[in-house]
Amino acid sequence: MKNIMLWIFEIAVVVLFAFVLVYFFGQSRMNVGQSMELTLADGDRVLLNTLSYRVGSPKRNDIVAFKPNGSSTSRTHIKRVVGLPGETIQIINGMIYINGSVYLEKADYTPMNDGGLADEPITLGVKEYFVLGDNRNNSEDSRYADIGLVNADYIEGKVWFRVSPSDALGPVK
């Protein structure tokens, strides 16, 4: 009887560990569209880290998955965080300005043809983020009213790993 109870306990621990691992690091989402190319292609399946934003907050350049305006019926969008809470964002001549200074990105993105709502300065609230797709001229993102600023409550998690297609398997930068 003691061996059976030990065996049941070990199985319960493994199942609990697997559940926690999948719940916090294994939720998957599919990238839809070309807005994140060259980083992610249309149809790429990625895993989310949902724990990181429960204990911290998104950082600049994080790739996040979110529901626009918290809509439970809309598809999940995947974009890169550019503006953080409290900052003022503006796009002038295709360049991003944060708090009045040009933001020089680590990657070489094509300058934006349309600043959208960010043609005028946008000041982010305490829980708001400004997100852009990496394919800046083919992305529906915070520059447009349909997406707008992303509230922290609507962010599902940080994109951290690509699981398909298999030839592109690996961490997402």
Give tens-digit pLDDT for 124-172. 999 999 999 999 999 999 999 999 999 999 999 999 999 999 888 999 9
- Look at 90 and 2; give whichever has higher pLDDT: 90
Q: In this model, does residue 23 exceed pLDDT 80?
A: no
Has domain 2-171 been given CATH number 2.10.109.10? yes
The reported pLDDT for the residue numbered 2 is 86
Work out the pLDDT band at 122, boundaries 50, 70, 90. Answer: very high
Q: What is the mean pLDDT of the chain?
A: 93
pLDDT, residue 20, reads: 82
Query: What are the two backbone dihedrals, phi and then psi, of residue 12, each rounded to the nearest 5 degrees?
Result: -60, -40
Ordered by start, the domain boundaries in the chain are: 2-171
Residue 96 predicted with pLDDT over 90: yes
Asked if residue 22 has pLDDT above 90, the reply is no
**Which tens digits make up the pLDDT trace of 11-21?**
999 999 888 87
Q: What is the pTM of this model?
A: 0.88
Edge to edge, the sheet with strand 101-102 lists 101-102, 95-98, 88-92, 122-123
Catalytic residues: 35, 79
Residue 96 · residue 111 · CB < 8 Å: no
Q: Residue 72: pLDDT band by 50, 70, 90 thresholds?
A: confident
